[in-house]
A = this chain, B = another copy of it.
């Protein structure tokens, strides 16, 4: 597989039927570097084995610009192998990504996996997924090749990666909100960091369940998966924290999309707000998809349907109690947008290409 600029890259999306899949399809179809070569879409909706129209699956993708001809094929390995594909996006269930990625790599495709299958290097963190690897050796080798796909932290490694493990939505907000501070060494980790996070309902997936029923989610707020959410391990690994140093609490918001994380940190020594601001500004100066607002707090409506992570903070009068607020669109910077950002890095394009 080559990535010269002389031809248009061929992308493929496996699992296009969910919310992140729909956003991914939209971003790839409008990506300036991919014009003239539509992604190959694979899905599982078409039980009979026949392809269906992408716009039947996602009517919001219909436009009068050729969208009517886009098809979603039933996935078959043969259909993958017979095409030259430069990058495969997996928006599949965790278990499926875990099972398929090793084979995809042998076919030569670079992989950006939106599931949680390959994000965690430490087995104890991965345990929450209960993966049963058919071949433990292959899984371990594959795992070592996986790069955590957060460009703001691992830009260089992503460029050369065979497998990009695209971060979780909550993890993206928490890690981007904390990374500058934790790296600075100013946080008193022994006092514990608290991340009180709130997410819109799209984060719970497209399957109709009791908790995604309108009557459950509307006019309500509830905490869930306290002390046990799957994204916790990503935050610990990326920030090099011990489990007792991070308390992560997700809540289900009565809105379609958006995450806001309110993060509480105690500083070792009293500090000035200006120093905090400088720390974040410097850390993200080359990151076009993070907007740092200083002491102005961000809110969900300004990031929804954008690929940005917005960050702001407030420092108590005592100079030690710091609150960082980070927010993003869980389907974009928290999923499909970050995946495209990673694709841009893989192909040597500007990180924000097709994302503004």
Contacts and interface: CB of A to CB of B under 8 A. Distances in A.
A198 B314 CA distance: 18
Interface of A: 19, 59-60, 62-65, 191-192, 194, 196, 198, 201-202, 206, 208-210, 212-224, 226-227, 243-244, 247, 249, 251, 253-256, 258, 260, 262, 264, 266, 288-289, 291, 297, 299-302, 304-306, 308, 314, 316-318, 320-321, 323, 325, 327, 352, 356
A6 B291 CA distance: 36
Contacts of A262: 196, 223, 249, 251
A214 B218 contact: yes
Nearest to A220: B301
Contacts of A253: 221, 253-254
Tell me which of A201, A256, A327 has the highest count of chain B C-beta atoms within 10 A of its own C-beta.
A256
Tell me which of A198, A214, A352 has the highest count of chain B C-beta atoms within 10 A of its own C-beta.
A214
17 contacts: A19-B215, A64-B291, A194-B194, A196-B196, A214-B216, A214-B217, A219-B301, A219-B304, A220-B255, A220-B258, A220-B299, A223-B325, A243-B318, A247-B264, A251-B260, A253-B254, A264-B264
Contact of A254 (B226, B255, B318): B255
Number of copies: 4
Contact of A210 (B63, B208, B300, B302): B208
A222 B297 contact: yes
A123 B248 CA distance: 37
Tell me which of A215, A260, A302, A356 has the highest count of chain B C-beta atoms within 10 A of its own C-beta.
A215
Nearest to A252: B299
A189 to B, nearest CB: 13
A111 to B, nearest CB: 27
A289 B243 CA distance: 37
Contact of A323 (B249, B291, B352): B249
A315 B206 CA distance: 31
A63 B290 CA distance: 10
A213 B208 contact: yes
Contact of A318 (B19, B244, B256, B317): B244
A294 to B, nearest CB: 13
Which 8 A-B pairs give the minimum distances between C-beta atoms? A222-B299, A208-B208, A196-B196, A220-B301, A201-B214, A226-B314, A214-B217, A64-B288
A215 B308 CA distance: 21
Given A64-B288, A227-B317, A251-B262, 18 more contacts: A64-B352, A198-B198, A208-B209, A218-B254, A218-B256, A219-B258, A219-B300, A219-B304, A220-B255, A221-B253, A221-B300, A227-B314, A227-B321, A249-B323, A253-B253, A253-B254, A254-B255, A305-B305
